[in-house]
Each structure stands twice: as C-alpha cells, then as structure tokens.
Amino acid sequence: MRGPDDRHLVLLYIYLAAGVVVIGVGITFAILAICAYYGIDVTRNWWLMAIPAFGSLLINVLLIELYRKLTKR
C-alpha cells in the first residue's frame, strides 16, 4: 500500500463486500419466507438457494464498476 488513497480504496471494497453479504442474507431469508408461504419444497429446488448468491455477487460487481466509473479522473 502506498498511501491513504490505496487504504481508502481497500477499506471501501471491504465495506462494500460486507454490505452485500448483509443484502445476500436478506435475500436468502426473503426467498425462504416466500417458499414457506407458497409451500415450495426447498430440498427439491436447491437452485432457489443460488439466487441470493448470484444476486449478491452481481450487486457487488455492479457497485464496484459504478464506483470506478464515477471516480474516474
């Protein structure tokens, strides 16, 4: 690390990843609640558990790219 800008960027990425984990947990609980409400058997439909993981990953990548685009000098 060279200076405060590099440290700031690393901390920003860490905070962004932590925030996306919280969003992913929220999406997981929402999907489990929806499955319980509609009577969908999650043990037969494991692909439903891939939605929060891929959704969180997509949100993280999109936010990083948005940050890079907005802070371009």
CB 17 within 8 A of CB 60: yes
pLDDT at 2 over 70: no
pLDDT at 1 (0 to 100): 44
Condensed to tens digits (0 to 9), the pLDDT of residues 4-53 reads: 677 888 888 888 889 889 999 999 999 999 999 999 999 999 999 999 98
For helices 50-70 and 4-38, the axis angle rounded to 10 degrees is 150
